[in-house]
Amino acid sequence: MSQTFKTIRYEPVKNGVARIVISRDEARNAQNREMTYELNSAFDLAAQDNEVNVIVLAADGKHFSSGHDLRDRAKLSEFETVGTWGGFDLPGSEGSWAVEAEIYLG
């Protein structure tokens, strides 16, 4: 695996098991936008690997995840989108919904 991540770890496949580890213990493993895209990439890697039979999602620290990081203000333009959604910069709830759809529905 040649891909590197900042907020998660993709551990080498062992006995058919891929292990993806959430690694933002300092933020109680809150999921920011960067993490959602990294998780998507890691699950894609595992799904495309013929050696993988099981994918385990784990986390560093004592909290699995505190949920979505509401402090995250990263713009979607900083990431390559994975879905067919658009209109992220529209005003009001329409733009907010487009962002939610891209991140959480893919």
- Give the tens place of pLDDT for each residue, 46-93: 999 999 999 999 999 999 999 988 888 777 677 777 877 788 788 888
Pair of tokens at residue 28:
């109680």
**Dihedral angle sign, alpha carbons of residues 68, 73, 78, 81:** positive
Q: Indicate whether 48 and 60 sit together in one domain.
A: yes
Query: Residue 39 is which amino acid?
Result: L
Q: Indicate whether 36 and 65 sit together in one domain.
A: yes
* Number of domains, the chain: 2
Write the DSSP string, the chain.
-----SSEEEEEEETTEEEEEE--GGGTT-B-HHHHHHHHHHHHHHHT-TT-SEEEEEESSS-S---B-TT----GGGS---SS---TT-SHHHHHHHHHIIIII-
Confidence of residue 2 (pLDDT cuts 50, 70, 90): low
Residue numbers of the domain that contains 99: 75-106
Q: Indicate whether 38 and 2 sit together in one domain.
A: yes
Q: Indicate whether 36 and 16 sit together in one domain.
A: yes
Longest CA span, the chain? 49
Q: What is the pLDDT of residues 6-44, one digit of tens each?
A: 999 999 999 999 999 999 999 999 999 899 999 999 999
Confidence of residue 104 (pLDDT cuts 50, 70, 90): confident
Q: Indicate whether 86 and 59 sit together in one domain.
A: no
Q: Indicate whether 80 and 56 sit together in one domain.
A: no
Q: Indicate whether 51 and 20 sit together in one domain.
A: yes
Q: Indicate whether 30 and 55 sit together in one domain.
A: yes
